[in-house]
Structure 1
Amino acid sequence: MEALIYGYLREDLADGRSAELEDAMSTLAREAGLCFAATFHESTSGDGAAFAELTQELKRADAHHVVVPSLDHFAGQTIPRCVLLAKLTREAAAKVWTIDD
């Protein structure tokens, strides 16, 4: 059984390219031998609700992979990027993949 990977995308950084970015995240997952489950879309207001839902889903599904278009999708919220990345690692033992590598 393939390991699950979830996407995370901030709409304010997608510039209307959400579908294209989600396709790229799905392709990366497939090429890495992972099962792309779903993408959590953070609203333009960036209140962090989608990030909280992502973290809960990772724990619920015992999943340990997240893919983002770039690490910038973890920046610019009320909580700094390093704190969000540490939370994923601490609470879900998640590895973060980016499509811009």
Structure 2
Amino acid sequence: MEALIYGYVRDELAEGHSEELEDAMCSLASSAGMCFAATFHESTTGDGTAFAELTAELKRADAHHVVVPSLEHLAGQTIPREILLAKLAAEAEARVWTVDT
């Protein structure tokens, strides 16, 4: 059984390219031998709802992989990004993959 991987995209950074970003995340998942499950889209208000839903889904599905187009999609500044990365690691034992690397 392939490991599940979930996508996470901040819509304001996608700039109308959500479909292309999702295709790239799916390709990365496939090349890593994982099953791409779904993408969580953070709205332009950026209230963190999608991130909370992602974390809950990772725990529910016992999944441990997240893919983002770039680390900027987790947060625009280093400190908040590091907090979100730590939260994913602590709460869901999740590894974050990026398309842009």
Q: What is the TM-score of this pair, normalised by structure 1?
A: 0.96
Gaps spanning 5+ residues in structure 2: where? none
Deviations along 1:32-75, whole A, 9 cap, x unmatched? 00000000000001000000000000000000000000000011
Counterpart AA for 2:34:
L
Gaps spanning 5+ residues in structure 1: where? none
The equivalent of 1:3 in structure 2 is: 3
Counterpart AA for 1:15:
E
Within 2, Cα distance between the matches of 1:62 and 1:34?
14
Considering only aligned residues, what root-mean-square deviation do their CA atoms show, in Å? Answer: 1.2
Q: What is the TM-score of this pair, normalised by structure 2?
A: 0.96
The equivalent of 2:13 in structure 1 is: 13
Counterpart AA for 1:81:
R
The equivalent of 2:29 in structure 1 is: 29
Within 2, Cα distance between the matches of 1:32 and 1:50?
24
How many pairs are equivalent? 100
Percent identity, aligned pairs only, is 76
Within 2, Cα distance between the matches of 1:91 and 1:45?
24
Counterpart AA for 1:11:
D
The equivalent of 2:43 in structure 1 is: 43
Q: CA deviation at 1:85?
A: 0.4
